[in-house]
Amino acid sequence: MSRLTTLAEPAAVELKGLGAFNFRDMGGWHLLTNDWGRYMMLDDGEFARFMSGRLAERDPLREELAANGFVRERTDFASMARSYAEKTAFQRLLGPSLHMMVVTLRCNQQCQYCHSSVVDPSRTDADMDLATAKRTVDFIFETPNPAICIEFQGGEPLLNWPVVKFVTLYARKKAEASGRKLYLTLVSNFTLMTEERVDFLFAHDVSICTSLDGPAELHNKNRPFLGSGAAQEKVVHWIERMQARCDAIVGRPFSRPSALMTTTRFSFDYSKEIVDLYVKLGMEQIFVRGLSPIGYAKRVWGDVGYTTAEFLDFYSRTLDYILELNRKGVPIMERMALILLTKIVRGVDPGFMDLRSPTGAVLGCLAYNYDGGIFVSDEGRMLDHMGDDSFKVGDVASSDWDAVLGHPTTRACVVSSVLENQPMCAQCAFKPYCGVEPVYHYETQKSIFGSMPTSGWCRARMGMFDAVFQRLRDKECRKIFDRWLEWDRRWQENGGSSAEPEAEAAR
């Protein structure tokens, strides 16, 4: 399908009465969206009648279009403004909520897509030291957002476990003293996990996330382990162990472990097996994530990368298999689809940094390197590791929040990522729900603005929006999607603990 669609009959348009909206020919039907975040899916005949002003005043379709802000003289501005405010709540956040702390660059895996952005496990000089860790937490608490999420990243953060523990305890102490809400998350490959560490993480309410690319042969190929044994077995062992512990706890006060998968070209033959493994492990979601040709992945793109069309084919196949399982009563959700549906159907912000206008970089998140360097995002930090510090906006030793926010790079990232300024985005039907990423476009197109007609970022996002909207129009899929949104809403309300999707699916 063409990425830019035009009217079949430009002459048959009666502008008078039309609200401001974008549209897209979806092949047999048209998608209409507006800046309020409302959408309508009209078949081609309905679309032609609406555009040419041939819908009768009392036609139910006209009523529906009017209720959603597509009819100029009948737009309820107060209601539309509320929709807009909810959808773009991230534009009014009091500073970043997500703080990614790279507590070490060391890693004991040599992942196909990342191993140059980490260092050998013996290189303890690439660990965040205690003083830097303390200063980083102090800086984080200087930012004004009342809710703070600290995410431990690496390298492999368990290689610097004492600092993870210290930050957990110190940040909890500071949150208590300042009355701030604090969330903690550990992103680990689990190869160095122990019962004692799980005890600590559960006791201090640290969410746990790992990487699971799929069955052993795929995972171990993508993520070779430098230690003894195979990496995938360890991941599976610890997910099962943590799930069992969660099951044993009445009321499930802890969030279940979650996992991320990264798609390489080796994943293409395993779409069903990957999903089946997630289901077997009792995971509620699977995040089918594409690889970005930036950082180290750019250098090995010929070995592990793929075209956007290949990824979108894999994404669609996997999504269809997930939907098929849901029809059979197996409750598993695809994370990217859920993010898009939260924006489209619920009209609220799911807190996903990559799809924000302006960008989530700095405004929504910051990345802290092991040496205290502050970066607009983790991608910006990875570029620094490749020798380009363009996205460094400060240092925990010498910068305060005002300096980071006022940094020229911060301003440039914000200005360049407003979709209203973007050719093609400004007229795209997916604009109300989308966003661009300055670091990605700097890396791939040598411009933080990017050029959307030739952007891989744009192609991939548009493809995923297409996939979700096409299925949203299908009544059966719509029911499943509504169930996902309900589970997710309850999950959020329960503070991140399970909302019993199994029971709901059975019903």
Residue for token pair 């102090």 = 138
- 141 lies in the binding site for other proteins (CB under 8 A): yes
* CA distance linking residue 421 with residue 428, whole number of Å: 12
Question: x/- site string to other proteins, residues 289 to 328, per CB under 8 A?
Answer: ----------------------------------------
- 193 lies in the binding site for other proteins (CB under 8 A): yes
* CA distance linking residue 392 with residue 390, whole number of Å: 6
Find the binder of other proteins among 2, 6, 228, 398 (CB under 8 A).
Answer: 228
- 186 lies in the binding site for other proteins (CB under 8 A): no
CB of 136 or CB of 498, closer to other proteins: 136
- Give, as ranges, the residues between 411 and 440 that touch other proteins (CB under 8 A): 411, 414-415, 418, 420-423, 426
CB of 70 or CB of 401, closer to other proteins: 401
- What's the alpha-carbon Rg for the chain, to the nearest Å? 23
Find the binder of other proteins among 4, 169, 244, 309 (CB under 8 A).
Answer: 169
Query: 314 near 272, Cβ under 8 Å?
Result: no
Tell me how far, at minimum, the Cβ of 237 lies from other proteins, in Å. 5
Tell me how far, at minimum, the Cβ of 81 lies from other proteins, in Å. 13
Find the binder of other proteins among 41, 63, 170, 202 (CB under 8 A).
Answer: 170
* CA distance linking residue 18 with residue 49, whole number of Å: 12
* CA distance linking residue 448 with residue 415, whole number of Å: 10
What backbone torsions phi and psi does residue 476 show, to the nearest 5 degrees? Answer: -65, -45
- 362 lies in the binding site for other proteins (CB under 8 A): yes
Question: x/- site string to other proteins, residues 237 to 256, per CB under 8 A?
Answer: xx------------------
- 62 lies in the binding site for other proteins (CB under 8 A): no
- 449 lies in the binding site for other proteins (CB under 8 A): yes
- 146 lies in the binding site for other proteins (CB under 8 A): no
Please give the structure tokens belonging to residue 346: 């619920």
* CA distance linking residue 113 with residue 285, whole number of Å: 23
Please give the structure tokens belonging to residue 3: 């990425």
Q: What angle do CA 201, 206, 207 make, to 5 degrees?
A: 115
Tell me how far, at minimum, the Cβ of 94 lies from other proteins, in Å. 6
- Give, as ranges, the residues between 101 and 140 that touch other proteins (CB under 8 A): 106, 108, 120-122, 124, 130, 134
* Distances from the Cα of 44 to the Cα of 54, 347, 473, angstroms: 14, 25, 14
Q: Residue 29 in 3-state DSSP?
A: strand
Which DSSP helix (H) or strand (E) runs through 374?
strand 373-375
Query: 283 near 322, Cβ under 8 Å?
Result: no
Please give the structure tokens belonging to residue 211: 């990487």
CB of 204 or CB of 479, closer to other proteins: 204
Please give the structure tokens belonging to residue 232: 């995938």
* Binding residues for other proteins (CB under 8 A): 91-96, 106, 108, 120-122, 124, 130, 134, 141-142, 144, 159, 161-163, 165-166, 169-170, 173-174, 177-178, 190-194, 226-229, 233-234, 237-238, 357-358, 362-363, 400-402, 405, 411, 414-415, 418, 420-423, 426, 445-447, 449, 451-454
